[in-house]
Chain A
Amino acid sequence: MFAYIVKRLLAGLVVLTLVSLSIFLLFWYGPSEPARAMCDSKTSNRCSPEKLEVFTEELGYNNPWASEFGTYVGGIVTGRDITVAGQTTRCEAPCLGLSYSTGKPVWEDMQSRIPATVSVAVGGAALYLVIGVPIGVAASRRRGSTADKALVSGFLVVSSIPYYLFALLAFLYFAVLYELPVIGQPGYVPLTESPVEWAGGLGLAWLCLGLWGCTAYTRYSRGAMVEALSEDYVRTAKAKGLPQRTVVYKHALRAALVPVVTIFGIDFGTLLAGTIFTEKIFDINGIGLWALNAVGQKDLPIVQATALFAAIALIVSNLVVDLLYSVLDPRVRLS
């Protein structure tokens, strides 16, 4: 088990290196001038070709990419001093560089944004399961009934609405036209500041994510339960004289959860990697929104940092799913 985790983490490290390297090279050999963003912000948009050349030199774009990538990786581990326009800034480990638009270390901004994104992701993902799975289980037990058919087709309609439209309409109706109490003013307040405002500000975002995303979980868990309920071991459980409750929840649901958990792990990783629409619409300063803005401003270090964060989120959630897998299903041996 331990050896397996170490192996997976090492493999993850390789993936991270490849992800950051590919973005690094994109800026290096890409069509744009990577130093222009920094130059523009330092000269109040009066960046002359001479000044651009100075910034290009300072930011290291005239050096071979390999040595610059080495410096970058070294900075993540030990931190480094970065000098731009005669001004030296101490960038503590994990140093992900200085933002080209603000000149501040990227990690400083990131620290305040990670909790926002994690809050959105955890709440939304929890609702996927809390709403989706019980409805799916209930539908599977009444398979073929009118209620089941209505539910399945109703949820199909909801999930065929594009998410951004769904979220925008929710924002329009519940925050603008009818300002709901508590959740009517979306925004992010750190949990440590005020748990009530934290939950209130994120409530609408959670509900949107949850209601829209749970439809898929209803389908997964309904399908998995229908299959599980027809398994021989469920018939055995019934034949033993176990109460219906035990048959459904202990015997069938346990097996049905395995595929649901797999998909959940991937979805949760994707949510963590950044929920751009949600953050944009509900005014939450998280990683997704940050990445979106950084791309517009050609702020390489931030783009790089958000990509790394997304990769880490996916690697870790996949690892957790695989570990969970071996806990849920004793037949799975990790190696």
Chain B
Amino acid sequence: MTEPFLVVEDLTVKFPTEDGLVNAVTELSYSVEQGRTLGIVGESGSGKSVSSMAVLGLHDTRTARITGSIKVGGQEVVGLGESKLRKLRGREVAMIFQDALAALHPFYKVGSQLAEAYLVHHPSASKRDARRKAVEMLDRVGIPQPDRRVDDFPHQFSGGMRQRAMIAMGLINDPKLLIADEPTTALDVTVQAQILDLLQDLQREFDSAVIIITHDLGVIAEMADDILVMYGGRGVEHGPAKEVLTRPLMPYTWGLLSSVPDVAGDTAAKLVPIPGNPPSLLDPPSGCAFHPRCAHSDKVQGNLCSTALPRLEPGPSGPGHLTRCHLSDPATVFETEVLPVIAPDLLEES
């Protein structure tokens, strides 16, 4: 078996601030293979964006302390020099950001921003080649009349078109890994679906690895082959998408699932928000970072939850499904206590 294209091991990112050290990401490990999609899910401040920005080496080395290992196509990124990182960025690994209106430069034409991305990695190409490439990419992502729209400014595009242009820019150099950071957050639902379809089509076409970062479980369910749930800068559950969505093992993941409204009309299903606030990254809770908000910590003997950090290790459903929880039988707790509240109709059917 060949090594996955992206291998992250024990990644830790800290930011020294005047108030103390912010532990944005702690000992995070995951990998993504060519042609696969990893969904990283978590609430704001869980470290999902910070960790993926580290993959591109986008953190300012003067303000961020990064340890651990990130291997992109076998090359170590942590500690890599700026000029080598530059060759990686936009070529091997491309990133598309949420809110394309802010992420595209308002003063430059869409086409010239695309062409710029192409030219920087194809120095021998002419401006005309780059422009042709930009038109071709705009066409590829489904922008009508691309030869005309290429000369528009971002503010002349609609929200969905801007996100398409952003994707076109990300894919213009055929990257092997595409990181999409909340790619659909700023869009309305129908456009959201179109963009996700487009991303899936393009992934099949380019056979790239994709990381999709979101707090939207709907997006994850649609897109991801694997899911990594992050909480307080750590991975807390990691496994195949189907497993994680149907038989989640970590109470935080249960909380995420419970707080998704069921539009399909299951009126008995309750929308249960997770109580409390995201943990402080300056002064993380002792033990399991989720314990102050966890409804199930009383099922664990003693005060293990507040004193000992559980390891991220395989749960009862097999070696591929990791969870970070002290519960001895999380699967049963989920079925008997959580499922009846969030999806009673599922139980009736079965």
Contact = CB atoms under 8 A, between A and B. Distances in A.
Interface of A: 231-233, 235-244, 246, 251, 254-255, 328-331
A255 B58 CA distance: 21
Nearest to B118: A240
Interface of B: 56, 58, 82, 86-91, 94-95, 97, 99, 102-107, 116-117, 120-121, 153, 155, 169
Contact of B107 (A235, A241, A246, A254): A254
Nearest to B91: A241
Secondary structure dominating the interface of A: helix
Contact of B169 (A232, A238, A240): A240
Q: Which of B94, B97, B104, B105 has the most CB of A within 10 A?
A: B105
Contacts of A255: 105-107
Contacts, number: 67
Contacts of A233: 102-106
Best-buried of B99, B106, B169 by chain A (most CB within 10 Å): B106
A98 to B, nearest CB: 52
Contacts of B87: 241
Contacts of B99: 232
Given A239-B89, A243-B86, A328 B107 contact: yes
Nearest to A329: B107
B89 A330 contact: no
A114 B235 CA distance: 71
A233 B95 CA distance: 12
Given A236-B97, A241-B89, A241-B121, A329 B116 contact: no
A305 B88 CA distance: 64
Nearest to A233: B105
Contact of A239 (B95, B116, B153): B95
Contact of B153 (A235, A241, A331): A331
Contacts of A328: 107
Interchain residue pairs A-B with the least CB separation, the first 6: A241-B90, A241-B89, A232-B102, A240-B90, A233-B105, A232-B103
B107 to A, nearest CB: 6
A247 to B, nearest CB: 10
A251 B169 contact: no
B90 A251 contact: no
A329 B95 CA distance: 26
Contacts of A238: 58, 89
A75 B208 CA distance: 78
Given A236-B104, A255-B107, A330-B106, 16 more contacts: A231-B102, A233-B104, A236-B97, A240-B117, A240-B169, A241-B87, A241-B89, A241-B91, A241-B120, A243-B86, A243-B120, A254-B107, A255-B106, A329-B106, A330-B155, A331-B155
